[in-house]
Amino acid sequence: MAEKTKCIPSHIPNDEDIQKENIRCLTTIGHFGFECLPYQLVNRSIHQGFSFNILCVGETGIGKSTLINTLFNTNLKDKKSSHFYSNVGLKIQTCELQESKVQLKLTVVKTVGYGDQINKEASYQPVVDYIDAQFEAFLQEELRIKRSFFEYHDTRVHVCLYFISPTGHSLKSLDLLTMKSIDSKVNIIPLIAKADTISKNDLQKFKSKIMNELISNNIQIYQFPSDDETTVQANSSTGVLPFAVVGSIDEVKVGKRMVRGRHYPWGILQVENENHCDFVKLRDMLLCTNMEDLKDQTHFYHYECYRCRKLQKMGFTDVGPDNQPVSFQEIYEAKRQEFYDQCQREEKQLKHRFMQRVKEKETTLKDAEKELQDKFEHLKRFQQEEIIKLEGERRKLEEEIIDFCKTKAASENVQAQLCANMRKDKERKK
């Protein structure tokens, strides 16, 4: 380190010195020193590859899959959805794409059955839950002791392409409800889908109607960066919001060229012709100019808000009641003590309730026992009385038997006497 410092000249000649002393200046061919830093970043990014997560929210058959395939010049195999799903679901597709040396891991999440439900809340809640679940997964990864961010697939949604039906009328209540419930969680870019089905005049009126409705409903859509001139210039097309897009993966012949477009009886719509639709503006804005900003906004704004809300809900705070900073450990200790006290309180309450229940049960059992005892005593008395009564009757019967036997014996004697007398009479008559 010390040696290197020696090499740096103590006095760097300025233009005046050069002119005065006639110093010969050499212009360097390559890049040296920290001037090379951006190249290191570029090389590292190319080596690591990029990732981008898109959420497509729109009614069934509105053109979500076609637009994504047109944007990324690919063909993500996707079956058409039915209009008869009982609730809204999400279809998640991940693919690795490559353009020259640049690798892109693309995750596309599309709604299924959106707009076909009677219950509006049931339509947007799965979308809200999905966005939150990805934030939660990232937060959990962040809170792990052994983190593996290099292998971790960050699925947080970087942008939500919201497909508006080309009715030419106004936004539907479901559009407003959905955008309102996700605008603080994700970068929303509104699109008018199938813009070829709406006339030029109607389209302009429809666009300004949509923007007015978004403003009057206080819905936050993605704000294009305005910190440097180049980006501002590149984003100048954002005045055309919402983008009126047309998708097609079919190639049609225009003159001698093959272009992507849609063939109609009255002519050809070229997807990449800026006079026909805003597809190119959307692609430039999404992929060429603002992809990194969308990712930054997701991480530094939307995820930060989620993390802040979540940690506050868990009881964490940066400053105490006296406005003094509090450490994470202090809060953890305090929370643990609070939890311990609460457990103790609940245990005490449970014990008390248990004792009360036991006492109540004991009293009931004692009453039942007493009742049974009384019943037993009563039966016992009744039985003794019965025994005495029966004993008396038995004695009476025995006396009657004795009397009967005596009477019987006496009558037998009389009968025997009579028989003897009759025999004597008979003998005498003979």
Ligand X SMILES: Nc1nc2c(ncn2[C@@H]2O[C@H](COP(=O)(O)OP(=O)(O)OP(=O)(O)O)[C@@H](O)[C@H]2O)c(=O)[nH]1
CB of 89 to ligand X, least distance (A): 11
- Give the separation between CA 192 and CA 279, rounded to whole angstroms: 11
CB of 109 to Mg ion, least distance (A): 11
Neighbours of 172 (CB within 10 A): 15
Structure tokens given for 160: 């939500």
Task: Indicate the residue among 58 and 190 with the shorter CB distance to ligand X.
Answer: 58
Residue 155 binds which one of ligand X, Mg ion, none, with CB within 5 to 8 A depending on kind?
Answer: none
- Give the separation between CA 169 and CA 207, rounded to whole angstroms: 10
| Residue from 51, 60, 76, 78 in contact with Mg ion (CB under 5 A) | 78
Window of 29-37, 55-63, 120-128, 343-351 that interacts with ligand X by CB under 6 A: 55-63
Residue 62 binds which one of ligand X, Mg ion, none, with CB within 5 to 8 A depending on kind?
Answer: ligand X
Region 59-98 residues binding ligand X, contact defined as CB under 6 A = 60-66, 80-81
270 contacts ligand X (rule: CB under 6 A): no
241 contacts ligand X (rule: CB under 6 A): no
- Give the separation between CA 114 and CA 347, rounded to whole angstroms: 48
Nearest 5 degrees, angle CA 182-CA 186-CA 188?
85
Task: Indicate the residue among 69 and 238 with the shorter CB distance to Mg ion.
Answer: 69
Window of 44-52, 54-62, 291-299, 326-334 that interacts with ligand X by CB under 6 A: 54-62
Residue 197 binds which one of ligand X, Mg ion, none, with CB within 5 to 8 A depending on kind?
Answer: ligand X
Nearest 5 degrees, angle CA 44-CA 46-CA 48?
65
Q: Which of these, 148, 145, 247, lies nearest to 193 by C-alpha position?
A: 247
Task: Indicate the residue among 250 and 386 with the shorter CB distance to Mg ion.
Answer: 250
Q: Which of these, 25, 32, 37, lies nearest to 4 by C-alpha position?
A: 32
Window of 191-199, 220-228, 355-363, 402-410 that interacts with ligand X by CB under 6 A: 191-199
What is the pattern of x (binds Mg ion, CB under 5 A) and - over residues 35-74?
-----------------------------xx---------
CB 92 within 8 A of CB 137: no
116 contacts Mg ion (rule: CB under 5 A): no
CB of 285 to ligand X, least distance (A): 18
Q: Which residues bind Mg ion (CB under 5 A)?
A: 64-65, 78
List contacts with ligand X (CB under 6 A). 58, 60-66, 80-81, 110, 194, 196-197, 246-247
